[in-house]
Amino acid sequence: MDTYPAQQNRLYQVMKNEPGMNEVKTETYTPGLLAQTLVAEMPEVELAVATVPPAAIYKGVISSGNRNTYASPQFADRDYFKVFSYPFTEGNQNTILLDKTAVSISEGMSLKLFHTTKNVIGRIVRFENEYFNGSYVVSGIFRQPYNDSQPFDILFNYQLYLEKRPEIKDWANGGPSTFLIIKSGTNLQHFNQKISKLLRQKRQGSKETLFIQKYSERYLHGSYENGQPAGGRILYVRLFLIIGIFILGIACINFMNLSTAKASGRMKEVGIRKVMGAKRISLIVQFMAESMLLSFLSLFLALLAVEVLLPQFNQLTGKTLTLDFNANLLLNLTGITVFTGLLSGSYPSLYLSGFSPALALKGKLTNTPAALLIRKGLVAFQFIISILLMISVLVVYHQIRFIQKKNLGYDKDHIISFAKEGKLNQNFTAFISELKTIPGVINASYMYGNLAGGISSRSGGFSWEGQAADQTSNQFDYLDVDYGLIETLGLELKSGRTFSRDYGADSTSIIFNEAAIKAMGIKNPIGKTVNFYGKKQIVGVVKDFHFESLFEKVKPFFFKIEYENGGNILIRIKSGTESSSISRIQNLYQNFNSGFPFSYHFLDTDYQAQYASENTVAMLSRYFAGIAILISCLGLFGLAAFTVERRSKEIAIRKVLGCSQSGVFHLLLAYFAGLIFTAIVIAFPIAYILIRKWLNSFAYKISLEWWHFAGAAALVVLVASLSVGFQMIQVSRSNPSVSLKE
């Protein structure tokens, strides 16, 4: 999580709500002049800084001498370090952002370029990308915080950004993020009301509104639906917190059951101590102390396990968590341990200390109906949690599999993508022509944006023939593309044609998806015109395809022919020739774009990256479910052991009278059948409600099937059978005469 202790309680980020055709979209990008305007016009603002966070569009190559590598830049206002805290190895953070020709680089970047972080100040580096080509002086070296959610390699002056991108100064455009330090005592509700109307005042006709969110909450509370907060990563934190509490509860229940199941071994100890004058309170304290000792021993072993397993956990989740023994952590761990010890030891201590001395010395166990009901209820609770987890694991697994296998409307396999940068911006046409001659290359094209995770461009001021008076919100997503992109992606035409040089430049042609045609309400669209920076003719309609994640429904979208500096080149490669084809592509790339490293990625990998959180949740859920099931087995084992001990004479008599082992097995299993059935009846509706709510976060999802629930129930029955079966084996080996003599 991003936290900056110096100003954390008063640090806010400005957010923007942007009305669309069917929803309100919440964005983090704001007009370029917003920060300085807020400082000048809003007395509640102590400091305001604009930053342009790392983005693929600004990624470039940084070089020094013969060494070069890719770097992700960030642009920041001069007061940036009065708001955000970064440790500096070299340089004065109060002055490094005053010069447009100076940059700061991360320690990692300094090591890549200079193999050192010493005596680097004053050295010259060159940066090349679409907008910011030039030589810069290194004025500082910073250490990247490990918990920064948007790491960057090089820090530029924000005024340089405005100089190279003057269109950002227009209130109709956006790009930077804006952060504020709000003065103490500010009424935040009143301040939000003031800034909500600011964009309407600066740009006539604007329907966009602004509001602020506490920056320390952005990482965990970053999701919005229709302009309203809708959770975010905090949902996963709460989910695993609840699961952790349930697993801890199951463990406490097991301790209670196992302690009471083995109570007969301590009956005489309790009886003798009571005869010798021990009060019940002293026995309770003794048993609670034993429970507390086990709890703290468990804490010590748990910390050892965390220390050993944390690197593997970080690798699985892609996080950089550390075990930092500060006062707050130690206090919380102590509190949890004490609570666990008290909770797990409460029932056994009350149960054991309540034995009658006479009955205890005779070895007779007293079992009231209430005690048996409590014990059964605790085990039923274990199975309810286990069933919930098992159903969840099954559904999450099949939803993730559904996402991975769903037909997206385009073929994402065997396509590689890399940036169009450097000299490729000047000799792009020749490069594409050469690419298509490489054996194994099926097709090659270009697009300005990225399919996986959303499109970078959105239209404004869009109109068409026959537009209704109430169709005023008309922002469509779109891509600037080259000829052949539709064929490269394998998109399917519904009507019309694709872009083709056979029809001239085709620069005034446009191709929509089905959702756009439906939203516009156009009948027989081929040949009709729309207005988007001039008249354009509809030449084709492609079937709907998923250019966003499956959390979103397919939105109105169009393609147009246009070339810009930057963007991505896409190449479809024949299956089975990936290695040789990519090697040839790399050689061609280096011939056309020497000095720039060849860095490519597969389109299907980008697609899967959209669901990294869901994949992590699915994986962790399997581990948690496995742990819960294992602990539940121990709980059932404890209750089975207690049941066998309590009914030992009954079982012995049945065996003497000729009852078989299978008969004893069914006798014990029947005892637990009611518990399992009760757990299933309670768990199924709860699981249905919770899983349905999670599935509803996807626009495209699986259906809940009966076997999701039946499979979990079958597994519970199997676990119960195995646990009871183990006890049955022990009973079958015992001599009935021993139990009858007791």
Q: How far is CA 79 from CA 24, 82, 181, 495, 586, in A?
A: 32, 5, 11, 54, 43
Question: What percentage of the chain has pLDDT greater than the value 90?
Answer: 14
Check pLDDT > 50 for residue 5.
no
pLDDT, position 352: 67
Give the mean model confidence (pLDDT) for residues 346-364: 65
Interval 431-484: pLDDT, tens: 999 999 999 999 999 988 777 655 556 666 678 877 776 665 566 888 889 999
pTM of the complete model beyond 0.75: no
Identify the three-state secondary structure at position 148.
Answer: coil
Spatial separation of the C-alpha atoms in residues 484 and 470, rounded to whole Å: 36
Q: Which of 412-426, 623-637, 641-655 has the highest mean pLDDT?
A: 412-426
Spatial separation of the C-alpha atoms in residues 605 and 412, rounded to whole Å: 9
Q: Which is more confidently placed, 455 or 552?
A: 552
pLDDT, position 82: 84
Interval 631-647: pLDDT, tens: 777 766 766 666 666 66
**Position 3 confidence tier, pLDDT thresholds 50, 70, 90:** very low
> Poorest-confidence range of 54-58, 649-653, 732-736?
732-736
Q: How far is CA 20 from CA 474, 541, 678, in A?
A: 7, 22, 49
Check pLDDT > 70 for residue 149.
no
| Contact yes or no for 739/652 (Cβ under 8 A) | yes
Give the mean model confidence (pLDDT) for residues 211-231: 79
Mean pLDDT, the chain, integer: 81
Which residue, 692, 442, 434, is CA-closest to 578? 442
Give the mean model confidence (pLDDT) for residues 189-193: 89
Q: What token pair was written down for 218?
A: 């952005």
Helices (H), 476-532: 485-489, 514-520
pLDDT, position 262: 63
∠ CA(605), CA(607), CA(608), 5° rounding?
Answer: 65
Residue 5 backbone dihedrals phi, psi, to 5 degrees: -55, -35
pLDDT, position 439: 92
Q: Which is more confidently placed, 359 or 643?
A: 643
pLDDT, position 354: 67
Interval 583-630: pLDDT, tens: 999 999 999 988 788 888 888 887 777 777 777 777 777 787 777 777
Q: Which is more confidently placed, 649 or 358?
A: 649
Beta strands 73-76 and 154-157 are: parallel
Check pLDDT > 50 for residue 358.
yes
Q: Which is more confidently placed, 491 or 222?
A: 491
**Position 362 confidence tier, pLDDT thresholds 50, 70, 90:** low
Check pLDDT > 60 for residue 1.
no
Spatial separation of the C-alpha atoms in residues 345 and 280, rounded to whole Å: 15
Check pLDDT > 80 for residue 724.
no
Q: How far is CA 103 from CA 90, 111, 119, 238, 318, in A?
A: 12, 16, 15, 41, 29
Domain ranges of the chain: 5-229, 251-366, 381-405+612-742, 422-595
Burial of 434 by CB count in 10 Å (0-12 exposed, 13-18 middle, 19+ buried)? Answer: middle
**Position 268 confidence tier, pLDDT thresholds 50, 70, 90:** low
> Poorest-confidence range of 41-45, 234-238, 520-524, 528-532?
234-238
Residue with tokens 């030449």: 539
pLDDT, position 741: 58
pLDDT, position 737: 63
Helices (H), 115-233: 158-164, 188-196, 198-202
Give the mean model confidence (pLDDT) for residues 401-424: 83
pLDDT, position 431: 92
CA 536 to chain centre: 40
